[in-house]
Chains A and B, each alone.
Chain A
């Protein structure tokens, strides 16, 4: 980005003078074109320089989230949803990046401890995206973590920040039911909703129930297929 790079040849006049001389349109177009070219080049360089770090951050964030909602399994593997089934590897000719992923947590003896999956639906402000973990049969939840939300600070964002709310998902029986805080009867499927953030709380519950309903046949089929 130097002066020389932006400067077309010839033309020495300084256009900031009170009565600027007529400038040819060619020079105007040329200035912007050369400027655009140089800026574009700079953007490509910056993009390539930052891309590895950005991708690494995203993978690390997913890994942290999976470990959290599956109660720190020994290790976990990514399965792909393809053709109504969970497959360990993307079939030939299909780009793995385009497929939805479900994460299977394994204990020290390589037995499955549960599945973690990402889902999102519209909340109070914008789409809420979250990841949750359930046991291998899809009957009991293991944990929930909000990945992305723009819910109201101080109220709706408690779905992300309130430890008492989040910890309820650990061990809850699916499908879960939201109850007004304090009105619950202590059943395993009940989740106390956040006072003042009913819509956000219901969104979280709806996301988990919908996703789990859709995925349970796949989880069960996978369990039968691989066998105990």
Chain B
């Protein structure tokens, strides 16, 4: 097991190991519910809450859950929190609950949550598990918000429902339709890997430069 510091646990999920942009997990909600900023935000918050609660509980009970039934136990824990989140959303924000529809229940099968439980929380103390869950939850939420902002601004000409461009704007309807989700995610992934590649090239260039100076 690689040793990490608490701050690394928290920060890794936000950018360096972002669940959507780097691990490319949880794409179903990322594509399906990001047609408006409000939906993205609600989905992000719901997933964040479920991820934190289940990671904490998985970490707390890691000594009593036998290895053989750990996945079933994870699913039990995750499904419980998702159902609770579903009921809370329906009670507190019925319009958003209606807009998200089946995708709230589908948080159960979001592989980010099961992934963090299996890869991290089941082997770490509860504090670290919580930090890691927070990091990944924030990373997921931020990605959804980026997707939601791009798609709502271009596809409806609004941000959180407020009109941005006035009546003259002809919205690019495709951005709120499923193809727009794929397009936006594709460009986002392209941008991230282009940045990574550039950073790698720069690091390699710096190494080569240092080596050349040593030779001289």
Residues on A close to B: CB < 8 A? Answer: 1-3, 6-8, 14-16, 20, 23, 27-28, 31-32, 35-36, 39, 42-43, 46-47, 50, 53-54, 57-58, 61, 148, 150, 152-155
Contact = CB atoms under 8 A, between A and B. Distances in A.
B176 A28 contact: no
B119 to A, nearest CB: 13
Contacts of A39: 76-77, 79-80
- Interface SS, A side: helix
A25 to B, nearest CB: 9
Contact of B61 (A3, A23, A27, A61): A3
A50 B69 contact: no
Considering residues B66, B98, B156, B177, which has the most beta carbons from chain A within 10 angstroms of its beta carbon? B66
Contact of B83 (A15, A32, A36, A46): A46
Given A16-B67, A154-B171, A54 B176 contact: no
Contacts of A20: 66-67
14 contacts: A1-B57, A14-B63, A15-B66, A16-B123, A43-B83, A43-B84, A46-B83, A46-B84, A47-B87, A50-B87, A50-B90, A50-B91, A154-B155, A154-B173
A223 B206 CA distance: 88
Q: List 10 tightest A-B contacts by C-beta distance, closest first.
A: A154-B173, A53-B91, A50-B91, A39-B80, A15-B67, A50-B87, A7-B64, A57-B94, A46-B84, A153-B176
B146 interface: no
A20 B88 CA distance: 40
A63 to B, nearest CB: 13
B211 interface: no
B163 to A, nearest CB: 13
Contacts of B87: 46-47, 50, 54
B65 interface: yes
B80 A28 contact: no
A56 B90 CA distance: 11
Interface in B101-121: 101
B35 A153 contact: yes
A153 B176 CA distance: 7
A54 B177 contact: no
A148 B101 CA distance: 11
B3 interface: no
A36 B123 CA distance: 22
Contacts of B4: none
B66 A6 contact: no
B48 interface: no
A53 B87 CA distance: 10
B66 A28 contact: yes
Contacts of A32: 69, 72-73, 76
A50 B83 CA distance: 12
B188 interface: no
Nearest to A2: B60
A31 B92 contact: no
A122 to B, nearest CB: 17
Interface string B164-176: 0000000101101
A2 B66 CA distance: 17
Contacts of B72: 32
A35 B84 contact: no
A54 to B, nearest CB: 5
B64 A3 contact: yes
A43 to B, nearest CB: 6
Considering residues A57, A61, A155, which has the most beta carbons from chain B within 10 angstroms of its beta carbon? A57
